[in-house]
A = this chain, B = another copy of it.
Amino acid sequence: MSTTKNMAYKASIKYGYADKKAPLARRLSRIEGQVRGVSKMVDGDKYCIDILTQITAAQSALDRVALELLAEHTRHCMDNEQVGQDKNQKVDELVKAVGRMI
């Protein structure tokens, strides 16, 4: 196995979202723009409730990114045989992450 292929293999073992990096980057850059939009609304004295709506939109978009990462991570954990303590640890950190999200 070539070194490059080997590294790619290791990466695919380690991170479930490897194949989704480009679309995730695009979505995150859009969310950055949404937050910048909130700044502009505050600066431009926009109506409070409209700013709250824009904040909620950014948060929903972040939720969707988080769910995507969670899906890839879970799929990945199921793909790789997780044994004993390691598996319990994976489940614990996953559920803790969900606990912080809700």
Interface residues of A, Cβ cutoff 8 Å to B: 11, 14-18, 21, 24-25, 28-29, 31-32, 35-36, 38-39, 42-43, 45-49, 51-53, 55-56, 58-59, 62-63, 65-67, 69-79, 82, 87-88, 90-95, 97-102
Contact = CB atoms under 8 A, between A and B. Distances in A.
A46 B59 CA distance: 21
A84 to B, nearest CB: 11
Q: Is the interface of A mostly helix, strand, loop or mixed?
A: helix
Contacts of A66: 52, 55-56, 102
A6 to B, nearest CB: 14
A92 B70 CA distance: 10
Contact of A87 (B52, B75, B102): B75
